[in-house]
Structure 1
């Protein structure tokens, strides 16, 4: 089974992120976007879920089955999936993502004191969210 999890890592916002202060993703009409679902799950439950758990929960919600279905999860992760470096949270909305030593994640907005602390923390691995344009 493939994984998208990181450990002791901070994903900084993309170099070409258009915001200077983190924004909460908006709804698209009557539906929640993937970015909003990611934001809500992680923001409401900091350091509770791994990247794999968040991504699979959203997949299950969008496809109307239980996020606790082990066979569906194995099928979903049988091929590679984009990690949170490709998430709109870091690319567009200004959210850095910290993974602790258990791989559990939390969000920190650009411009916040905690975001700056994580950027400067030499004990963490640092990666950037993917750029929006090549």
Structure 2
């Protein structure tokens, strides 16, 4: 099973992120988007979940997996490679950095905040960028 977890890492917003300050993803459909679900979970539970746990939790919610199928679904979900949180719409379009602590637990960090600047300047953290939404040209 591959892992999407990072440790002592800060994922900065994408170079082509369209916002200058973090914005809460808003409902645009009948069901919450991946960004809305990830944002809500990480806002309610900062530094509680690893990337793997967050991605799987969102998957369970989106697919409405019954409790008696969770173990089997976990095996299926992680049987193939998964994109890490660099691919999350939070960092690509909504202006949220993602800080992974030493244990791999994740928290949101809003672009434009002092905390974002501090983490982005921290040479002890592995610095990554969220994936671009458009191709470099």
Q: The TM-score by the shorter chain falls in which range?
A: over 0.9
Q: How far off its partner does 1:99 sit? A: 0.2
Match of 2:76 in 1: 75
SS of 1:43's partner is helix
Which position in structure 1 is the counterpart of 2:8? 8
Matches within 5 A, 1:1-134: 1-66=1-66, 69-134=70-135
Tell me the distance in 2 between the aligned counterparts of 1:66 and 1:108. Answer: 32
The secondary structure found in structure 1 opposite 2:132 is coil
Aligned length: 134
Once the two structures are superposed, residues 63-87 of structure 1 have per-residue CA deviations (whole angstroms, 9 ceiling, x without a partner) of: 1114782221121011001111011
The TM-score with structure 2 as length reference comes to 0.94
Q: Give structure 1 regions of 4+ aligned residues with deviation exceeding 6 angstroms.
A: none
| 80-89 or 25-34: bigger deviation | 25-34
Unpaired runs of 5+ residues, structure 2, are: none
Q: Unaligned regions of 5+ residues in structure 1, if any?
A: none
Secondary structure of 1:69's match? Answer: helix
CA deviation profile, 1:84-130 (whole Å, cap 9, x unmatched): 10111000000000000100000011100000000001110010000
